[in-house]
Amino acid sequence: MSLPTAVTLKEMGPRDGLQNEARAISRADKVRLVDDLSRAGLSHIEVGSFVSPRWVPQMAGSQAVFADIERRSGTVYAALTPNLKGFELALQAGADEVAIFAAASETFSQRNINCSISESMQRFEPVMSAAASAGIRVRGYVSCVLGCPYEGEIPASQVASVARELHAMGCYETVLSDTIGTGTPGATRNLFAVVARDIPREHLAGHFHDTYGQALANIYASLLEGINVFDSAVAGLGGCPYASGATGNVASEDVLYMLQGLGIHTGIDLELLIQAGNRISAVLHRPTGSRVARARQADH
Protein backbone atom coordinates (compact mmCIF):
# COMPACT_ATOMS: atom_id res chain seq x y z
CA MET A 1 0.00 0.00 0.00
CA SER A 2 1.42 3.41 -0.95
CA LEU A 3 1.97 6.19 1.59
CA PRO A 4 -0.80 8.78 1.99
CA THR A 5 -0.21 12.25 0.52
CA ALA A 6 -1.66 14.00 3.59
CA VAL A 7 -1.88 13.16 7.30
CA THR A 8 -3.87 14.72 10.13
CA LEU A 9 -2.08 15.07 13.47
CA LYS A 10 -4.40 15.35 16.45
CA GLU A 11 -2.73 17.10 19.36
CA MET A 12 -2.99 15.47 22.79
CA GLY A 13 -0.58 17.69 24.73
CA PRO A 14 -3.05 19.89 26.65
CA ARG A 15 -5.08 16.90 27.87
CA ASP A 16 -3.29 13.53 27.70
CA GLY A 17 0.04 15.31 28.01
CA LEU A 18 -0.65 17.46 31.06
CA GLN A 19 -3.11 15.31 33.00
CA ASN A 20 -0.40 13.32 34.80
CA GLU A 21 1.78 16.27 35.78
CA ALA A 22 2.36 16.53 39.54
CA ARG A 23 3.28 20.22 39.31
CA ALA A 24 0.32 22.61 39.28
CA ILE A 25 -0.07 24.30 35.90
CA SER A 26 -1.85 27.64 35.72
CA ARG A 27 -4.89 28.23 33.57
CA ALA A 28 -2.95 30.91 31.70
CA ASP A 29 -0.19 28.44 30.80
CA LYS A 30 -2.74 25.89 29.59
CA VAL A 31 -4.50 28.51 27.48
CA ARG A 32 -1.16 29.71 26.08
CA LEU A 33 -0.30 26.14 25.08
CA VAL A 34 -3.59 25.64 23.23
CA ASP A 35 -3.24 29.00 21.49
CA ASP A 36 0.38 28.26 20.53
CA LEU A 37 -0.73 24.96 19.01
CA SER A 38 -3.55 26.64 17.10
CA ARG A 39 -1.13 29.18 15.65
CA ALA A 40 1.21 26.38 14.59
CA GLY A 41 -1.56 24.99 12.39
CA LEU A 42 -2.90 22.04 14.42
CA SER A 43 -6.42 21.39 13.14
CA HIS A 44 -7.50 19.23 16.10
CA ILE A 45 -6.53 19.88 19.74
CA GLU A 46 -7.76 17.95 22.75
CA VAL A 47 -8.04 20.84 25.21
CA GLY A 48 -9.04 19.04 28.41
CA SER A 49 -11.27 16.46 30.02
CA PHE A 50 -14.42 16.58 32.10
CA VAL A 51 -13.74 13.95 34.71
CA SER A 52 -13.87 14.01 38.50
CA PRO A 53 -11.13 16.35 39.80
CA ARG A 54 -10.63 13.81 42.58
CA TRP A 55 -9.24 11.39 40.00
CA VAL A 56 -7.55 13.83 37.62
CA PRO A 57 -6.91 17.08 39.53
CA GLN A 58 -4.85 18.61 36.72
CA MET A 59 -7.95 18.72 34.49
CA ALA A 60 -10.15 20.46 37.07
CA GLY A 61 -10.06 23.79 35.22
CA SER A 62 -10.96 22.54 31.75
CA GLN A 63 -14.14 24.62 31.52
CA ALA A 64 -12.18 27.81 32.23
CA VAL A 65 -9.52 26.87 29.68
CA PHE A 66 -12.19 26.41 27.01
CA ALA A 67 -13.59 29.82 27.92
CA ASP A 68 -10.23 31.59 27.54
CA ILE A 69 -8.68 30.07 24.43
CA GLU A 70 -8.53 32.00 21.18
CA ARG A 71 -10.55 29.85 18.81
CA ARG A 72 -9.32 29.70 15.25
CA SER A 73 -11.46 28.88 12.26
CA GLY A 74 -10.83 25.36 11.01
CA THR A 75 -9.52 24.04 14.34
CA VAL A 76 -11.50 21.46 16.32
CA TYR A 77 -11.30 21.93 20.10
CA ALA A 78 -12.13 18.59 21.69
CA ALA A 79 -12.64 17.17 25.19
CA LEU A 80 -12.52 13.75 26.84
CA THR A 81 -15.85 12.82 28.43
CA PRO A 82 -16.18 9.49 30.28
CA ASN A 83 -19.87 9.82 31.12
CA LEU A 84 -23.05 11.83 30.53
CA LYS A 85 -22.23 14.42 33.21
CA GLY A 86 -18.83 14.99 31.59
CA PHE A 87 -20.46 15.33 28.18
CA GLU A 88 -22.93 17.92 29.47
CA LEU A 89 -20.07 19.97 30.97
CA ALA A 90 -18.12 19.72 27.70
CA LEU A 91 -21.17 20.92 25.78
CA GLN A 92 -21.56 23.89 28.13
CA ALA A 93 -17.87 24.70 27.65
CA GLY A 94 -18.29 24.78 23.90
CA ALA A 95 -16.31 21.68 22.95
CA ASP A 96 -16.56 21.00 19.22
CA GLU A 97 -16.13 17.28 19.65
CA VAL A 98 -15.81 14.73 22.47
CA ALA A 99 -13.99 11.46 23.01
CA ILE A 100 -14.78 8.36 25.03
CA PHE A 101 -12.36 5.61 26.02
CA ALA A 102 -12.45 1.86 26.50
CA ALA A 103 -9.73 -0.73 27.07
CA ALA A 104 -8.85 -3.87 25.16
CA SER A 105 -7.77 -5.40 28.50
CA GLU A 106 -10.29 -6.38 31.17
CA THR A 107 -7.77 -5.87 33.97
CA PHE A 108 -6.75 -2.44 32.71
CA SER A 109 -10.41 -1.45 32.43
CA GLN A 110 -11.00 -2.41 36.06
CA ARG A 111 -7.87 -0.59 37.29
CA ASN A 112 -8.44 2.50 35.16
CA ILE A 113 -12.20 3.12 35.29
CA ASN A 114 -13.36 0.55 37.87
CA CYS A 115 -15.60 -1.47 35.57
CA SER A 116 -15.50 -4.21 32.97
CA ILE A 117 -15.21 -3.51 29.25
CA SER A 118 -18.88 -4.42 28.82
CA GLU A 119 -19.92 -2.10 31.65
CA SER A 120 -17.87 0.75 30.17
CA MET A 121 -19.74 0.37 26.89
CA GLN A 122 -23.06 0.61 28.72
CA ARG A 123 -21.88 3.86 30.33
CA PHE A 124 -21.16 5.32 26.90
CA GLU A 125 -24.65 4.71 25.49
CA PRO A 126 -26.23 7.85 27.04
CA VAL A 127 -23.20 9.89 25.93
CA MET A 128 -23.62 8.70 22.35
CA SER A 129 -27.35 9.43 22.45
CA ALA A 130 -26.85 12.94 23.87
CA ALA A 131 -24.06 13.67 21.37
CA ALA A 132 -26.25 12.59 18.46
CA SER A 133 -29.05 14.89 19.68
CA ALA A 134 -26.59 17.79 20.01
CA GLY A 135 -24.94 17.14 16.66
CA ILE A 136 -21.55 16.52 18.32
CA ARG A 137 -19.14 13.98 16.84
CA VAL A 138 -17.64 11.35 19.15
CA ARG A 139 -14.20 9.80 18.86
CA GLY A 140 -13.48 6.46 20.56
CA TYR A 141 -10.17 5.36 22.09
CA VAL A 142 -9.16 1.74 22.64
CA SER A 143 -6.27 1.53 25.10
CA CYS A 144 -3.66 -1.21 25.58
CA VAL A 145 -3.98 -2.44 21.99
CA LEU A 146 -0.36 -3.62 21.75
CA GLY A 147 0.22 -4.66 25.32
CA CYS A 148 -1.16 -4.32 28.85
CA PRO A 149 0.83 -3.74 32.06
CA TYR A 150 -1.23 -6.44 33.77
CA GLU A 151 -2.09 -8.97 31.06
CA GLY A 152 0.87 -8.62 28.71
CA GLU A 153 0.18 -9.20 25.01
CA ILE A 154 -3.40 -8.54 23.90
CA PRO A 155 -4.75 -10.58 20.94
CA ALA A 156 -5.58 -8.45 17.90
CA SER A 157 -8.98 -10.16 17.75
CA GLN A 158 -9.76 -8.83 21.24
CA VAL A 159 -8.84 -5.30 20.18
CA ALA A 160 -10.97 -5.67 17.07
CA SER A 161 -13.98 -6.72 19.17
CA VAL A 162 -13.82 -3.54 21.30
CA ALA A 163 -13.12 -1.34 18.27
CA ARG A 164 -16.11 -2.86 16.44
CA GLU A 165 -18.39 -2.03 19.34
CA LEU A 166 -17.27 1.61 19.50
CA HIS A 167 -17.68 1.95 15.74
CA ALA A 168 -21.15 0.37 15.88
CA MET A 169 -22.15 2.78 18.67
CA GLY A 170 -21.47 5.68 16.32
CA CYS A 171 -17.88 6.77 16.97
CA TYR A 172 -16.79 8.45 13.74
CA GLU A 173 -13.18 7.47 14.40
CA THR A 174 -11.69 4.64 16.45
CA VAL A 175 -8.21 5.25 17.85
CA LEU A 176 -5.96 2.27 18.53
CA SER A 177 -3.74 3.31 21.42
CA ASP A 178 -0.43 1.74 22.41
CA THR A 179 -0.86 3.02 25.95
CA ILE A 180 2.34 1.56 27.41
CA GLY A 181 4.49 1.95 24.31
CA THR A 182 5.59 -1.67 23.89
CA GLY A 183 4.32 -2.20 20.35
CA THR A 184 6.59 -2.94 17.39
CA PRO A 185 6.06 -2.28 13.66
CA GLY A 186 5.15 -5.84 12.70
CA ALA A 187 2.57 -6.11 15.47
CA THR A 188 1.23 -2.68 14.51
CA ARG A 189 0.72 -3.64 10.87
CA ASN A 190 -0.96 -6.89 11.87
CA LEU A 191 -3.26 -5.08 14.32
CA PHE A 192 -4.49 -2.56 11.76
CA ALA A 193 -4.91 -5.30 9.15
CA VAL A 194 -7.10 -7.30 11.56
CA VAL A 195 -9.19 -4.34 12.77
CA ALA A 196 -9.63 -3.04 9.20
CA ARG A 197 -11.53 -6.21 8.29
CA ASP A 198 -14.50 -4.68 10.13
CA ILE A 199 -13.80 -0.93 10.21
CA PRO A 200 -12.73 1.03 7.11
CA ARG A 201 -9.21 2.41 7.40
CA GLU A 202 -10.49 5.97 6.95
CA HIS A 203 -12.25 5.56 10.30
CA LEU A 204 -9.14 4.38 12.17
CA ALA A 205 -6.32 6.32 13.84
CA GLY A 206 -3.11 5.52 15.74
CA HIS A 207 -1.97 6.73 19.17
CA PHE A 208 1.54 5.69 20.18
CA HIS A 209 3.60 6.20 23.31
CA ASP A 210 7.37 6.06 22.98
CA THR A 211 8.39 4.02 26.04
CA TYR A 212 10.46 1.54 24.00
CA GLY A 213 11.47 4.04 21.31
CA GLN A 214 9.19 2.43 18.73
CA ALA A 215 6.57 5.14 18.20
CA LEU A 216 7.89 6.65 14.95
CA ALA A 217 8.53 3.19 13.51
CA ASN A 218 4.98 2.21 14.47
CA ILE A 219 3.57 5.31 12.81
CA TYR A 220 5.48 4.50 9.62
CA ALA A 221 4.15 0.94 9.78
CA SER A 222 0.64 2.37 10.18
CA LEU A 223 1.14 4.62 7.14
CA LEU A 224 1.97 1.50 5.15
CA GLU A 225 -1.39 0.09 6.29
CA GLY A 226 -3.24 3.13 4.92
CA ILE A 227 -3.75 4.97 8.21
CA ASN A 228 -3.54 8.75 7.90
CA VAL A 229 -4.64 10.10 11.30
CA PHE A 230 -2.34 10.05 14.34
CA ASP A 231 -2.35 11.42 17.86
CA SER A 232 0.79 13.05 19.25
CA ALA A 233 1.75 15.44 22.03
CA VAL A 234 3.97 18.47 21.72
CA ALA A 235 7.32 18.03 23.54
CA GLY A 236 6.46 14.34 24.08
CA LEU A 237 4.24 15.19 27.04
CA GLY A 238 2.31 12.51 28.88
CA GLY A 239 2.49 9.05 30.36
CA CYS A 240 0.14 6.55 31.91
CA PRO A 241 -0.52 6.52 35.67
CA TYR A 242 -1.60 2.85 35.50
CA ALA A 243 1.44 1.62 33.59
CA SER A 244 4.71 1.77 35.48
CA GLY A 245 7.54 3.09 33.31
CA ALA A 246 5.31 4.23 30.44
CA THR A 247 6.67 7.46 29.01
CA GLY A 248 4.97 10.22 27.10
CA ASN A 249 3.18 10.32 23.80
CA VAL A 250 5.30 10.47 20.70
CA ALA A 251 6.43 14.08 20.26
CA SER A 252 4.42 16.03 17.69
CA GLU A 253 7.59 17.76 16.47
CA ASP A 254 9.29 14.42 15.75
CA VAL A 255 6.29 13.02 13.89
CA LEU A 256 5.98 16.19 11.83
CA TYR A 257 9.69 16.14 10.94
CA MET A 258 9.36 12.54 9.71
CA LEU A 259 6.21 13.29 7.72
CA GLN A 260 7.83 16.31 6.09
CA GLY A 261 10.78 14.12 5.11
CA LEU A 262 8.34 11.72 3.46
CA GLY A 263 6.71 14.56 1.51
CA ILE A 264 3.43 14.14 3.38
CA HIS A 265 1.33 17.29 3.87
CA THR A 266 0.05 18.24 7.34
CA GLY A 267 -0.50 22.01 7.24
CA ILE A 268 1.57 22.43 10.43
CA ASP A 269 4.49 24.85 10.88
CA LEU A 270 7.39 22.92 12.43
CA GLU A 271 9.19 25.98 13.81
CA LEU A 272 6.08 27.29 15.57
CA LEU A 273 5.41 23.80 16.93
CA ILE A 274 8.94 23.59 18.33
CA GLN A 275 8.46 26.98 19.99
CA ALA A 276 5.22 25.77 21.59
CA GLY A 277 6.94 22.67 22.92
CA ASN A 278 9.92 24.60 24.27
CA ARG A 279 7.61 27.08 26.03
CA ILE A 280 5.54 24.45 27.85
CA SER A 281 8.72 22.51 28.72
CA ALA A 282 10.10 25.67 30.36
CA VAL A 283 6.86 25.97 32.35
CA LEU A 284 7.36 22.38 33.53
CA HIS A 285 11.05 23.07 34.34
CA ARG A 286 12.44 20.26 32.23
CA PRO A 287 13.92 19.73 28.77
CA THR A 288 11.59 19.06 25.87
CA GLY A 289 10.93 15.42 25.09
CA SER A 290 11.25 16.11 21.35
CA ARG A 291 14.49 14.89 19.79
CA VAL A 292 13.99 17.27 16.87
CA ALA A 293 13.61 20.26 19.18
CA ARG A 294 16.70 19.26 21.18
CA ALA A 295 18.70 18.85 17.98
CA ARG A 296 17.63 22.33 16.84
CA GLN A 297 18.72 23.76 20.18
CA ALA A 298 22.11 22.08 19.83
CA ASP A 299 22.51 23.47 16.30
CA HIS A 300 22.06 26.98 17.69
**Tens digits of per-residue pLDDT, 159-204?**
999 999 999 999 999 999 999 999 999 999 999 999 999 999 999 9
Please name which of 180, 200, 289, 161 lies closest in space to residue 242, comparing C-alpha atoms: 180
Which uninterrupted H or E stretch holds 44? strand 44-49
Positions marked active-site: 240
Rg (CA), the chain: 18
Residue 162: the pLDDT is 96
Residue 300: the pLDDT is 66
Q: Which of 177 and 53 is assigned the larger pLDDT? A: 177
Residue type, 19: Q
Residues with Cβ within 8 Å of residue 240, at least 6 apart in sequence: 20, 149, 179, 180, 209, 246
Average pLDDT over residues 218-222: 98
Tell me if residue 70 falls in helix, strand or coil. Answer: coil
Q: What is the mean pLDDT of the chain?
A: 93
Residue 124: the pLDDT is 93
Nearest-angstrom CA–CA distance, 254 and 177:
18
Contact of 27 with 222, CB cutoff 8 Å: no
pTM of the entire structure? 0.95
Residue 244: the pLDDT is 55
Give 243's pLDDT tier (boundaries 50, 70, 90).
low
Is residue 104 predicted with pLDDT exceeding 60?
A: yes
